[in-house]
Structure 1
Amino acid sequence: MAPTIRPFHPADVPGLYRLCLITGDAGGDATGLYRDPDLLGHLYAGPYPVADPTLTFVVADDEGVGGYVVATADSLGFARWLDEHWWPVLRAQHPRRPDPGDGSQDHVLVDRLHDWPTDPLPQYADFPAHLHIDLAPRLQGQGWGRRLIGTLAHALRARGVPGVHLGVSERNTGAIAFYTRLGFETFATHEWGRTLTLGLGSSG
């Protein structure tokens, strides 16, 4: 089967988690960083299609899920949904733990899920939606990322959403260049990277 973009199906969840892990180290494979291979997916992939499956799209081919974009139209509402519906079970299942000193980063993600912010951020006013996008190496450099974001942007515009934002590590220079080509602009810089924004007021 040739690669094709389609709406999310529940059977895609394992593929989303796997892809989130193999691209989770600033675009590189994060498998060696985590003892629990599902933790990254729990934070950055899994909750989106549960909260709103109509804003998750995948690229699928003969090997399964080769790319995805997950999103929410309302970042503040989503943060509150996470706090009520998503984090309680995960916080109980993953109590805080010390750094084991072996280079693994599970404790970092566990702290993050316990400390997930629910307050509005400055970009929410004009760019209330946010997204995460990942592509397997076999599909990179072929335009699938642009098509995924275009598909999502169309869905967000249909809801009247004025703009979308995302976070990207400063180490992921390829991703920053990709987003810049799509018209994203730097909204803020942080120790970990930058927040990028894209207005959705036109069909460009």
Structure 2
Amino acid sequence: MSTINSSATTSVNPVLLKVPFQLNIWLGLFIFITGNISTIGNFTVFTSRMFRNRACSVYLIAESICTFIYFDFVLVTRVIQKGFNYPIINLYDPICKVRQFFSEYTHQVAFTLFALATIDRILSTHRDVGTKYGHGVYFSSQASYSHSYTEPNTRGERCMFLARVLVGNATIGTKYTKICPRGFDTTTDGSYIYVIYHDAQAFVTNNQPPLESFTIQQCTAEDEDGAIAVCLKTGDSGNDASLLFNDPKVLGYRFVAPYIHLSPDLAFVLKDSEGNVCGYVLAALDSVSFYTQYVNEWLPKMKQLYPNIPSENERLKEDWEIIYGFHNDNLQSFKLFDDYPSHLHIDLLPIAQRKGYGTKMIHRIENELQRRGSTGVHLGMAPNNTRALHFYTKLGFTILANGQDTMWLGKKLV
């Protein structure tokens, strides 16, 4: 019996002993390959133009580097040691020490960086007056300000309640104001925020969001600053680009102001009932003539306004790319289409979107171009702006060309 057992043991043990080695090799290689693919993918995404200037991307890039080190050093040495049964860690003391350090701290550092990125996103998107002007219920007399605190639903719609508020005698409130001071009915910021302390002071007049009335008007010199502000608020593929630029006007000096000065007859703005610029549509009848004027007349002014191109150390924001263009653009820098000689730009603030005004402004500029003899118009947009692409294609625009940062669309006007 002992002879039989011994024979069985020696025939089974080698097979069982190979299993952990094979698992270490094949499972380790699978994790190594998939881990590196995901890490390189993360690194590529967060260093792209869309994300690289956001603070959270710095943390996520660093987290990807930590993960990359783990996969390419800690995991590889394990596969060699445990899978191929080569004692690399035992033979080489420096490798053993470095591996021990990385295996102990890469996970902790990666987790910490991910947590910091999460905190950054929470803080950067959190906007709350809180109790700055008193511990009460807050109302604003400016619909545009209240709008900034609303959240869109899945269709992009937002909702506000129109209420009648008994303001009475108001005084400046502070974060220490818990009850309204004697002799006053409300506290305020001194402008358009009011805080009430009794429910009887306000009642909702209806359960429908207030209607905003907008008008399309010819752009004037007085509208330039407002149009430039709209350009910044929509400059990140339709989203707010304020955090991407140090100079809030430099983007508008490239994409808005030249049209107001060089092609004023084809510059229109959308204004709300209070006269604020909420959108614009700008066009050039003949792109070649416009860009010639732009290079010969506009760029010299920009070079005076921005005499120095930012250095490598100053290229933390997007300003440098615009300023670099001011100093280096020429007629060959611009995309032209023979069958679509005109071009346009259009941007609307969120408060003016999904109300039909974008379509009205496109039709307005198309009619103006057609009346002046244009046979076609083109425009450029960010390839990742799917909402804008849907909007343009619905209006009859088709894709003409695709670039790394720009998609070109065109529409015949005959």
Select the structure of larger CA radius of gyration.
Answer: 2
Is 1:34 paired with 2:245? yes
Ranked by relative contact order (alpha carbons within 8 Å, sequence separation 6 or more), the top structure is: 1
Q: Is the 8 A contact 1:71 1:130 kept in 2?
A: yes
Q: Is 2:279–2:352's contact at 8 Å kept on the other side of the alignment? A: yes
Moved more, 57-66 or 80-89: 57-66
Query: What does 1:60-139 correspond to in 2, within 5 Å?
Result: 60-61=271-272, 62=274, 64-94=276-306, 95-100=308-313, 103-119=316-332, 123-139=336-352
Shift of 1:172: 1.1
Deviation at residue 92 of structure 1 after TM alignment: 2.8
1:101 and 1:42 map into 2 onto residues whose CA distance is 20
Name the SS of the counterpart of 2:227 in structure 1. helix
Whether 2:392 is the aligned partner of 1:188: answer no
What is the CA-CA distance between 1:11 and the residue it aligns to? 1.0
> Partner of 2:217 in structure 1?
6
Matched, 1:44 2:255: yes
Counterpart CA distance in 1 for 2:232 and 2:276 is 15
Tell me if the contact between 2:283 and 2:343 (Cα under 8 Å) persists in the aligned partners. yes
1:70 alignment partner, SS class: strand
Aligned residues: 201
Q: TM-score, normalised by structure 1?
A: 0.93
Q: Structure 2: which amino acid aligns with 1:43?
A: R
CA distance, structure 2, for counterparts of residue 6 and residue 101 of structure 1: 39
Greater Cα shift, 52-61 or 17-26:
52-61
Gaps of 5+ in 1: none
Q: Indicate conservation of the 8 Å contact 1:3/1:60, yes or no.
A: yes
Distance 1:99 1:121, change over 3 A: closer
Q: Is the 8 A contact 1:76 1:120 kept in 2?
A: no
CA shift digits 1:153-185 (9 cap, x unpaired): 000011110011010111211111110111100
Q: Does 1:151 align with 2:364?
A: yes
Report the CA distance between 1:105 and its aligned residue.
1.1
Q: Does the 8 Å CA contact 1:70/1:131 hold for their aligned counterparts? A: yes
Among 380, 389, 393, the residue aligned to 1:176: 389
Alpha-carbon offset, residue 125 of structure 1: 1.2
- Render the CA deviation track for 1:98-135: whole Å, top value 9, x for unaligned: 24367311111111222323139674311111111010
Counterpart contact for 1:76–1:119, Cα < 8 Å = no
| Selected match of 1:53 from 227, 246, 264 | 264
Q: Which of 150, 164, 168 is the aligned partner of 2:377?
A: 164
Within the candidate set 326, 332, 353, 1:140 is matched to: 353
| Distance verdict in 2 for CA 1:122–1:59, change over 3 Å | closer
**SS of structure 2 residue aligned to 1:25:** coil
SS where residue 313 of structure 2 aligns?
Answer: coil
Return the alpha-carbon distance in structure 2 between the equivalents of residues 12 and 65 of structure 1: 7
Matched residue SS, 1:81: helix
Change (3 A) 1:2 1:113: same
| AA at the equivalent of 2:290 | F
More helix per residue: 2
- Aligned-partner SS, 1:100: helix
**Does the C-alpha gap of structure 1 residues 52 and 101 become closer, same or farther in structure 2, counting only changes over 3 Å?**
closer
8 Å contact from structure 1 (residues 123, 187) kept in 2:
no
Cα 1:71/1:122, change in 2 over 3 Å = closer
User: Which residue identity lines up with residue 247 of structure 2 in the other structure?
Assistant: D
Matched-pair identity in %:
34
